[in-house]
Amino acid sequence: MENISRRSFVNKFGLGVGASIVVTSLPSFMTMTEEEKPYTGKKLNIALCGLGNYASMLADGIVASQYCNLAGIITGTPSKAEKWKKQYNLPEKNIYNYQNFDEIKKNKDIDLVYVVVPNGLHKDFVIRSAKAGKHVITEKPMAVTVKDCEEMIKACNDNKVQLAIGYRLHYEPTHLEIKRLGQQKVFGQVRFIDAGLGYKTYDTLDKTTIVDKNDRNEWRLNKKLSGGGPLMDLGIYCIQASRYVLGEEPIAVTAQFGTVNDKIRFSETEESITWQMEFPSGAVANCSTSCGFNIDRFYAAADEGSFELSPALSYGPFKGKTSEKELQFPVINQQKAQLDGICQLILENKPLPNHITGEEGLKDIKVINAIYKAAETGKKIVIS
């Protein structure tokens, strides 16, 4: 859903990755000298687990990266194994299916497994990877329950491997800038955030078609595999941005489910949800996500000014301004930046920063749980 709908959203609004952006300033980690200096040391060898839409984008990011190689795959579909083997010149011994995956433990040519399967399956593959002694990156949302997140963190700690969550925007320059503007109080204390990410996902489909939620392509509508609707898939970006702009954790939430226009598809998971998060400073974030309408924006009102992005939370390119000037940063390959950021640290045997680890993923799942509880009960839910 995320990929397909993002594509249609981008097409609809006429934005392409080739859109020209004038670069006026670069964050310090992307200075030209650093960018130009090629890395020639050992690369981290990655096996991608699950070869769906987002795995293809990650593969492009790996190919473009300095610090990792696509060395293997784990897939349940033999035809995909064949296709990827040829496309990426993968040796047969680095190709696994879901049954023989645990044998990867003996394979010294794989350092890290990147889990890109439906949300409800993240836990199982992360724990199997950790037990095989491999570092792991798992896609967002980290898992579907707090307990699952805790078990994943424990398995990685017990097996002394690092666990990262695929938060691509943590490495994106426009987002690093709004994080700086908020946390360093460049416009004073942020008091109010308005954020939304949603896609009118099924507008081209016949709404009378019976949808089989056990169909592999419909896993996002299947509560067991998805853990929920657009809140799990897209709304998580609003939670993330609010948290990293404020540098605070929400203490209480209220929430409201939206109208269900497509009752066939959204019988297990929400079609839309709006929620409000209260932060210790008194700041409030009002957020929305949907599969029924398009929205991609972030706005922060602070004591002495404001800053905003739209598009804000998708694959971009992002466009934004502060109350003083335009925000202009280069359009980057978000997956490459994320992979390089994570893999460089793992290669140097350094711990990953807190904002990218399993602890960070767990925090989001606690907030998401509270939002669902608030929408179900109509009550304000305090997050402990």
Sign of CA dihedral 176, 182, 187, 191: positive
Told to judge if 98 belongs to the known catalytic residues of this protein, a careful annotator would answer: no
**Among residues 46, 51, 178, 221, the one that binds ligand NAD under rule CB under 6 A:** 51
Candidates 140, 179, 213, 363; catalytic one: 140
Distance CA 244, CA 180 (A): 9
Q: Which of 45, 113, 156, 166 binds ligand NAD (CB under 6 A)?
A: 166
Q: Which stretch binds ligand NAD (CB under 6 A): 14-22, 51-59, 203-211, 262-270?
A: 51-59
For ligand NAD, give the closer residue by CB, 139 or 271: 139
Of 168 and 336, which CB lies nearer to ligand NAD in the complex structure?
168
CB of 50 to ligand NAD, least distance (A): 4
> Is residue 329 a contact partner of residue 316, using CB atoms and an 8 Å limit?
no
Question: C-beta of 343: minimal distance to ligand NAD in Å?
Answer: 16
DSSP state of 41: S
180-192: b (≥16 Cβ within 10 Å) or e:
ebbeeebbeebee
| Residue nearer to ligand NAD on the CB measure, 15 or 51 | 51
Cβ neighbour number for residue 151 with a 10 Å cutoff: 15
Work out whether 7 is an interface residue with ligand NAD (CB under 6 A).
no
Does 54 help bind ligand NAD (rule: CB under 6 A)?
Answer: yes
The verdict on whether 88 is a catalytic residue reads no
Cα 254 from chain centroid (whole Å)? 23
DSSP summary character for residue 183 = H
Q: Is 224 exposed, middle or buried (0-12, 13-18, 19+ CB in 10 A)?
A: middle
Phi, psi of 124 (to 5 degrees): -60, -45
Q: Considering only residues 117-146, where is the footprint of ligand NAD by CB under 6 A?
A: 117-119, 121, 139-140
By CB under 6 A, name the binding residues for ligand NAD: 2-3, 50-55, 76-77, 116-119, 121, 139-140, 166, 168, 216, 219, 225, 233
